[in-house]
Amino acid sequence: MTDPNSQSHPAAGRVQKAPENFLDSVGVRAVHGEARAGRRDFIRNAFATALAAGAAPAVVAQVNPVPAAGGDASILELPAHTKGLGLGVATDGYGKPSKFEANVQRRQSPGLTQTQQSSVSFAPLQSLFGIVTPSGLHFERHHQGWWDIDPSKHRLMINGSDEKMVRTPMVFTMDELMRLPSVSRFHFIECGANTGMEWGNVTVPTCQYSHGMISCSEFTGVPLKVLLKMVGADTRRGRFVLAEGADGSSMTRTIPMEMVESGEVLVAYGQNGEMLRPENGYPLRLVVPGAQGVSWVKYLRRIEVGDMPYAAKDEAIHYIDLMPDGKHRQYTSIQECKSVVTTPSGGQVLLDKGYYQISGLAWSGRGKIKRVDVSVDGGRNWRTARLQGPVMDKCLSRFTLDWVWDGKPALIQSRAMDETGYVQPTNRLLRTVRGTRSIYHNNSIQTWLVQESGEVKNVQLS
Amino acid sequence: MSSSRKAILATVLALAAGAAFAQSAVFHGIGRPATPKELAAWDIDVRPDFKGLPKGSGSVAKGMDVWEAKCASCHGIFGESNEVFAPLVGGTTKDDVKTGRAARLTDPAYPGRTTLMKVATISTLWDYIHRAMPWNAPKSLSPDEVYAVTAFLLNLGGVLPDDYVLSDRNIAEAQKLLPNRNGMTTAHGLWPGKTLGNGGKPDVKAVACMKDCVAEPSVASFLPDFARNAHGNLAEQSRPVGAQIGANTTVPAGAAADAARERR
């Protein structure tokens, strides 16, 4: 065995016994044929060939050893579910996760906020597969509490900042909006403050708290462009759009008309095949792909077309990025290319040496993910990970890479690159430009330290 | 232009207009014009150029009354409280009022950032107090009360004098006194349009080096052991089956790994 980290030749740890399936079916037939012919040394050759060809290696120390009884009680003693009658259909009109999944919850970060209504809950990235966030685990950010709004009474108004900005200010019911031609698209939504607590130093233990203000869903709705055409918006003069919510804070944000004209911005009611969840803006929210979550105004009640940006509270007092010279960057919206390894990740324990699949998420507010590289030595050497398809625009991409842990400390990192060629920076590089006080838009490379004990720690490198 | 040519041109224009109309007529029957009353009820935003600002006025003295009745329980008597929300007032000086830059923003050692240290547009204060305050009864303040509360806040920050009466007529003058009015920049690449910023140009350019890239890395920051359980027991925050399981953070580091293996 050569490089223990080589992707095509995962190294074995402590070799125990060879499993039967390290040969392919042709090989098995050949072995049996040769055995019948009495040529036992062929088996040795076949084993060597299989390893050289990069087939699965002999197993390492078993996490699941054979008990003294000669078999696993979970196999030998048939459980109740194998010997009894199960539950009937529609026991739950709306099915829930298994009771054994109760640990998988969105959670608040202790001490981060002093109210429940103006707060954040983080999605449990360490426990999620693929790219879609189950709607009930979608991260939450509320500015003045959430509501479950009666959709039959919800209205969307579209008007202009002056009388000539739109030909006819209009109002729409949900019935009307849902009659219009719709599109469904997968997009990530990330809070601008995601990873914001980590600008200066490590503050949180797991990827749930460090990166969990991101989620990804299939959203269904009407392109805002279509509605602006219906009201006769003057898009030559009106280069800005104000989106306003119907909740207590009536959250407002300015959106550039270019994004609306691209057709990407949706007035959305659907999320993962059903209606939006109340915590995510039921019955109507704006979807602004690539822009930070605060622009995706929930409980959307009004769109105004205007000829200047609005300096709303969440783009003039919050969601502004402090630079070392004491100035704040205003109207920062794009979520730049970023990635994080979710398994293994901080707060977890690797139970033994041997094979692991490193897996994580990558995304970019500027387009598609082009490549993700992974390092297990703190950024000295990198290998290109597999990207799981489909790779979509402004959407999460799942990457994986084979890794054999040799029991020594390892520093695991991922580095994403998007289709514009932008490469995810180290926190050192980002800090040289932005300092450590900007709170928002921290897209730096995350490092997890796998300790000899197997426990994984969130660390930052010098 | 001859009259016949004019007639042809008129027909062409009419057809073009008709085509444009036909396009939106595809969705005939969907949506209706908003009434003036409806627009007045919902179009409440106030822009930095004060478009949308209703007429009215309020004194610092009246603002203090409203403040103590409706705002102080969360924000503190002097807007200084950090108990429910970040402090609103503090950290600005007379000099800042002159320069329009909150000087303490350049000091990394200065703890916290108050609203008055950050805000560059007085319209933002007026708009947000009007649309979202008080916290548990948003949109219950009259325009005059909003003027008064805004005046009181700025008085607490040493921006407006005690006898000031803020109104739609002098708010542009008050804007010129905001301590951080010159503190914003749009010179960045994070605006997804062409109207602001630098057109989307990133501020860092990392290189995707693949081999022997950096000096031997050293760990500069990690969570201290005493904080390992600060976010609750991580063993209860991960799926109990899978490639890795959560560390039991109620026991010291090292023991957690053993505990995890025993659980298997």
pLDDT in tens, A188-240: 999 999 999 999 999 999 999 999 999 999 999 999 999 999 999 999 999 99
Contact at 8 Å (CB) between A441 and A331? no
Dmax of chain A from CA atoms? 95
Q: Is 70 exceeded by the pLDDT of residue B263?
A: no
Residues A12 and A18: their CA atoms lie apart, in Å, by 11
Chain A residues inside the 8 Å CB shell of B241: 100
Q: Give the whole-angstrom CA distance, residue A325 versus residue A353.
A: 48
pLDDT digits (tens, 9 = 90+) for A369-409: 999 999 999 999 999 999 999 999 999 999 999 999 999 99
pLDDT of residue B39: 98
Residues A285-299: tens digit of each pLDDT: 999 999 999 999 999
Percent of chain B whose predicted confidence (pLDDT) is above 90: 74
pLDDT tens by residue, B77-101: 999 888 888 899 999 999 999 999 9
List pLDDT tens digits, range B174-210. 999 999 999 999 999 999 988 999 989 999 999 999 9
Are residues A381 and A447 in contact, defined by beta-carbon separation less than 8 angstroms?
A: no
Residue-wise pLDDT for B135-173, tens only, equals: 999 999 999 999 999 999 999 999 999 999 999 999 999
Whole-angstrom distance, CA of residue A352 vs CA of residue A423: 33
For A165-227, strand residue ranges (E) read 170-173, 183-190, 214-223
> For the sheet containing A456-461, what is the strand order?
A383-384, A369-375, A410-418, A447-450, A456-461, B219-222
Question: What is the structure's pLDDT at B8?
Answer: 52
Which band of pLDDT confidence, cut at 50, 70 and 90, is reported for residue B214? confident
Q: What is the pLDDT of residue A43?
A: 33
Which strand (E) or helix (H) includes residue B261?
A: helix B255-263
pLDDT of residue A115: 86
- Looking at this protein, which amino acid is placed at residue A402? D
Share of chain A above pLDDT 70, in %: 86
User: Alpha-carbon distance B214 to B206, whole Å?
Assistant: 13
Short-list A195, A191, A196, CA closest to A215: A191
| Nearest by Cα to A311 from B90, B95, B180, B110 | B180
What is the ipTM metric for this complex? Answer: 0.89
Lowest-confidence region among A39-43, A218-222, A432-436: A39-43
pLDDT at B26 (0 to 100): 83
Mean confidence (pLDDT) of chain A: 89
Q: CA-to-CA distance for B119 and B177, rounded, in angstroms?
A: 12
The edge-to-edge listing of strands for the beta sheet with A300-306 is: A252-256, A240-245, A300-306, A155-160, A170-173, B32-33
List B residues 184-203 in contact with A (Cβ-Cβ < 8 A): 184-197, 200, 202-203
pLDDT at B119: 98
DSSP notation for A411-456: EEEEEEEETT--BPPPHHHHHHHHTT---S---PPPEEEE-TTSBE
User: A190 pairs with which residues across the strands?
Assistant: A214
Q: What pLDDT, on the 0 to 100 scale, is given for residue B21? A: 42
DSSP 8-state symbol, A161: S
Residues of chain B in contact with residue A460, where contact means CB-CB under 8 angstroms, are: 219-222
Residue linked to tokens 């995601």: A194
Closest CA to A338 of A417, A392, A427: A417
pLDDT of residue A178: 98
3-state helix vs strand vs coil in chain A, percent to 5: 20, 30, 50
Tokens of A171: 């109002």
Tokens of A152: 């039959």
Cα–Cα distance, A269 to A261 (Å, whole number): 20
Q: What is the pLDDT of residue B6?
A: 53
Among A112, A128, A190, A349, pick the best mutation site for testing chain B contact (most B Cβ within 10 A): A349
Residue-level pLDDT at A443: 98
Say how many C-beta atoms besides its own lie within 10 A of residue A389's C-beta.
Answer: 8
CB of B45 within 8 Å of a chain A CB? The answer is yes
pLDDT at A6 over 90: no
State the Cα–Cα distance between residues A125 and A127, nearest whole angstrom: 5
Q: Is the pLDDT of residue B29 over 90?
A: yes
pLDDT of the residue at B244: 86
Query: What's the mean pLDDT in B239-253?
Result: 91
Query: What is the rounded CA–CA span in Å between residue B7 and residue B24?
Result: 26
What pLDDT is attached to residue A426?
96
Residue A418 pLDDT: 98
Q: Which of A447, A145, A84 is nearest to A299 (CA)?
A: A145
Cβ-defined contact of A316 to B249 (cutoff 8 Å): no
Burial of residue A78, with CB atoms counted within 10 A of its CB: 0-12 exposed, 13-18 middle, 19 or more buried: exposed
Q: What's CA B94's distance to the chain center, in Å?
A: 25
**Letter string b/e over residues A394-404, b meaning 16 or more CB atoms within 10 A of that residue's CB:** bbbbbbbbbbb
Q: What is the mean pLDDT of residues A25-42?
A: 41
Joined tokens for residue A338: 């970023």
DSSP state for residue A154 in the 8-state scheme? -
Q: pLDDT value at position A11?
A: 35
B124 pLDDT tier (thresholds 50, 70, 90): very high
Among A306, A377, A424, select the one facing B206 at the smallest CB separation.
Answer: A424
Q: Residues of B88-117 as b/e, b for ≥16 C-beta within 10 angstroms?
A: bbbbbeeebbeeebbbbbeeeeeeebbbbb
| pLDDT for residue B229 | 93
Question: What is the mean pLDDT of the segment spanning B57-65?
Answer: 98
Residue A417: what pLDDT? 98
Which candidate in B236, B237, B258 is best for mutational testing of the A interface (most A CBs within 10 A)?
Answer: B237
CB contact under 8 A, B206 and A201: no
Q: What span, in angstroms and rounded, lies between the C-alpha atoms of A105 and B238?
A: 9
Predicted structure pTM score: 0.87
- State the nearest Cα–Cα gap between A32 and chain B, in angstroms: 34
Q: Single out the residue of B212, B208, B214 nearest to residue A423, CA to CA.
A: B208
Residue B17, pLDDT above cutoff 70:
no
Residues 143-182 of chain B with CB under 8 A from chain A are: none
Q: How far is A36 from chain B (nearest CA, A)?
A: 40
The answer to whether A456 faces chain B, any CB pair under 8 Å, is yes
Tens-place pLDDT, residues A106-142: 999 988 888 888 899 999 999 999 999 999 999 999 9
Which residues lie across from A233 on neighbouring strands? A166
Residue with tokens 């300096």: A311
How many Cα atoms are found within 13 Å in the side-chain-facing hemisphere of A392? 16
